[in-house]
Structure formats: structure tokens, C-alpha cells
Structure 1
Amino acid sequence: MTDHLRWGILGAAQFAQNHMGPAIHMARRGRLAALATSSADKAAPFAAFAPGLQVFDSYEALLADPDIDAVYIPLPNHLHVEWAVKALEAGKHVLVEKPLAMQADGFDPVIRARDASGKLAAEAYMIVHHPQWQRARALVSEGAIGKLVRVSAAFSFDNRDGDNIRNRPETGGGAIPDIGVYIYGATRFVTGEEPEAILSTEIRRENDVDVWSHVTARFPSFHYTGVVSMRMAPWQEVVFHGEGGVLRLTTPFNAQVYGEARVELQAADLTVTSWRFPSVNHYVQQVENFNASVLDGAAYPCPLEFSRGTQEMIDMVWAKDAG
């Protein structure tokens, strides 16, 4: 076993260039060694921060290289399952962007390929690797807000570019697949509970893509309400409201981009305790946890089974909306 992982990326996506590529190269015990793209212009920015980067002109060629240990897949949503399975069958560990699949049963071939290969496969659900979410889960579990009554979550941004994959149905676009996965999964992660029923859905679509939604749900011990939108001013917040206090995350999903990550605990007497996380990069944390799981056998914080559960909630939302 080597002391580090040699990573490759399938496709020169903008997000990979700006966030995950640098994170892979910065993370301890990992190195960005290869990129698959047919465009030299798209490869250039990656080579600028990853000297010695090997560029392949096809995804298949990168997967055939025995010197690559792990691959990151930032392709359009509808291609995730296909290439995750191909990468696992090629003997690579796999980190694939969310949503990994468009329905919960889409996870199943990836799970089977993971188990058959003995490799690590995970959805790139970076937020659970951030210490603010570890702190939030611990506080709720320890009873810092008493009995949980209500979870309220919101995530929005404004993207009206018709050519963007998020606005195209054929590439698995939509606000719920793109960012609903965050507010639904975060609720499950902190509480450890699964939704019993979707109580209501109000969804607005453009070009057969959901661009705004309000969803309410019943969990075993609390009520949930959440809004996601690709047609509103940027905003994000998650609130856990209990009988004895309120826990609020001010920058739950885009730490250092939207703002500083903070966890605020307001007690029943209105005193507030805050925890600040000004410099944590959750993309780097994610890759370091992935490297440690592969190299040391450490438990990975976000297994595919957890991610499948979030997609099950999304499937419940679609079913409720369909009537």
C-alpha cells in the first residue's frame, strides 16, 4: 500500500477546476495526477496548480492507467452511475458528484460494483465532513436544545442560464437534485431520523425542470419545512428548533464562499453561544477522509447507503407532487 492516493478526474468541469481539483491536490496523502479531457485549453488551468499532470484524451484511457488509484467524477448528473460503475470495474476508488443517481434504485448498481471490487465509492456530499455539521449533530444528540420540534431549511441562488446543466432536463437538472440534496440530507444527518411522510409539496417548473419548491414532511419526532430555489437571491440557513433552545447554522452549505461558517446556540434564556469555523475547507476535509479510509481503513463519514437515503426522500417528494 502506498502512502498516498494518485487521483484522476473525469472531465474538466468548472467546479472541478475551481474547487475539487485544488482540494484533491491540497489534501494530505493525495495528489492530482491525471485529467481526462479532449480540450488542451480546459486542461491548462488544472496543470497550473498540479504540475506534472497527465492529460488523457478519453475517460477510458484514464481508467485504464494502472498508476491511478482513485477518480473523481464531476460529469453531468445523468452520467454519474454509468461512469462510477465503469471506474469501479476498472479497479479505481470512486468519489462521484451529487446527486449520484436520479432515483434511489440508481444507487444499487454502484453499491454492487463497490462490493464486488472491494474499492471505496462515495457521493461527494462534502458538508458532513465540515466540523460545523459534526458540532450540530453532537449538540442535538446531547440534548442542547431539548426535544426537537421543528427543522427549517432554505438554500437558494439565481441561475437563469438556459445552457447550464442545472436548467436542462436531459442532463438531470433541477434545484431539488442540485441543492435539495443538501437540505434533506443535512436534516437526516443531524437527527438520525428518516421521513415518515411528505405532507405537502409546492413545486414550480420551467422547461420541465424544478426551479422553486416548498416541501413539508413529518419525521418520527419533528416537523420539517424546506425551500430550495434557482430563481431567488442567494440565501442559506438551517434551524433546529427545540423545546429548550434553537440551533442555527448561518452558512451551512458554501462555507468560505457564501460566508463564514458559524453554529449559533440560543438557550431558553436567550443567551447565545457561537462556534466559528473561518478557515475550514470542507472539500479538502472530504478528500482527506476519503484518503484515510482507503489507506488506513478508517470508517468513511458518508457511505453510499446514507446518500441513497437522501435520494429516497427526494423520490418521496416527487411521488407526493405527482399525486
Structure 2
Amino acid sequence: MDGQSQLGAFLQARRSRLRPDDIGLRTYGDRRRVPGLRREELALLAGVSTSYYTRLEQGQSHNASPEILDALARALGLDEAERRHLHDLGAGAAKRHKGLRRPPPEHVGDATRDLLDALADVPAVVLGRRTDVLAWNTLGHALFAGHLPADRPEQVPTRPNMAALVFLDPDVRALYDDWETKARSVVANLREVVGRHPDDARLASLIGELTMRSAEFGRLWADHRVRACDSAPYTLHHPLIGAVTVTQQALRTADDQTVVVAHTAPGSPSRAALALLAGRGTGPAPGQCRGVGGMHGRGAGLGKGER
């Protein structure tokens, strides 16, 4: 989780995706031993020396200015989210490394709980910055994790973690019609969070656990995609109500938490299906009363966000 090594890895990953043709660079048929642009080519595009860029990518330089980071972002063709991530990594690398820290457990404030209550007719889940499930309303629990006990978010040591659920829980995985797109979104969001909190020990532990337990997570994590989860449509296959299409939208709170709501189009079959789910209560369907791998609690490896 060292900021400087992450900065270098991000730059290298983005450089490897750019082809000379993408930027109009003539290669005159020369054989290229590495994918993407060479270091000297990117340095030329960004207006910095090759030796300086090489030190930056290898973690040997800690003084990249905002202007240099902006120049690199332009040369790499980064979008706004990726540019912010690059600046976050650069700022973290410029600070003296003090080791990982273990921040206190997160708790839901009164204002966020009031918002959750106001959204009673819409599935809603409150996530901490590490995607720990801090709270959910009745419909949010029923839609996303009805096979888990409703009070799990209140049990701090064994809280579910949404990223872990997506990759490690077979019920949650089966919920998404396009699981790959959901998985990519989760990983890209975690990349953005790591850039803002490179010294978070619990976040580092989560990334390490997912990398060890899921080859798919490891593959996507190595891709260095960055994207905050703001709004995206998903088709879900729910064990009680069947197919339902929702738009998952993230609402940020002042204390770095996220309220994820799943809303549907007015008058749509999906809205009618959610109303049916609300009317049927939160009980799981037959055969759905199980956690990950048939286990609940810490043995499932999903409640370690607050270790």
C-alpha cells in the first residue's frame, strides 16, 4: 500500500495501454519489446526528462508537482477520476511514510440514519469507505442480502463487506445478471479509495484477503482501473421476485460514507416487483438461509472490515 510504489504501478499500467498509433507517433516499423509506449516517449509527451520520469515510475522520486502530474495525466489521456487518483497517489508519495494506521470502527450518524428511514420504500444500504455494510433498511436487506441475518451490520466485528460479498458470496454473485461489470465497478471504486487513503490498514487487509481468495479480484486489481461508483443500471435475478432492473446510485455523506439506493422506473415491472418484495417481508426463500459457503460470521471471511 506504499504510496510511491502505487504511483509507479499506476503510471506503468496506464503507459502500457497507450499505443503509438493512439497518439500519432510514427514508429517506422521498429520492433517494440514492451507493450504500449516506452518511458522516453511518454516523458517526451509530458514534457519531462526521461531520467526523471523513470525515477518517478520506479519509486525513486518523491517530489512530483501538481503541474507535472497534470502533464502526465494529459499525456496518458486520463479522465477526471483517473486524474484525481493520480494526484492522490502523488500526494501520498510526497509524504513521509509513517506506516499503516488502524482507524476506529465506522458508525452511522443520526442524519444518515434519518435518511435511511426516509428511504423506506427504496432499497438502501450504507457503506463505509472500505465498503463495509454499516446499515441497511428493510428493503435494502431483502434485495441485496436477504440470505444474511438482518442485524449483521450492527455486529461490528462481523459486519458484511459489500466488495467481499460480490466476489466471495455465491448468492450475491448470482444476483447480478452481468457480474463482470459489477465486479469491475467494485474494484475500480476500491482503487479510487486506496488512492485517497493509502495508509488505512483495514483497507490494506481487505485488498490482501480478496487478492488471496479470488483470482478474479486479483486480475481486475492488477488492471489499475479507477472509477468512483456514482450511478449504474443493473439487472438482478432475485430468488423471490425474479428479474428486476434497478439503477444503483451512490449518495456521498459528509463523513466519507456512501448511501447506495436502488431505484426503478415509475410504472415499470421492476417497481412492481420491488413492491411485491416489500409486501412479502424479509424472509429468505427456501434453501437461501446460508452465508458464504454455508457459514455465518467470521468463518465466512466477510466480517473482517473492523478487525
- In the superposition, the TM-score normalised over structure 1's length comes to 0.24
* Greater strand content: 1
The higher radius of gyration belongs to 2
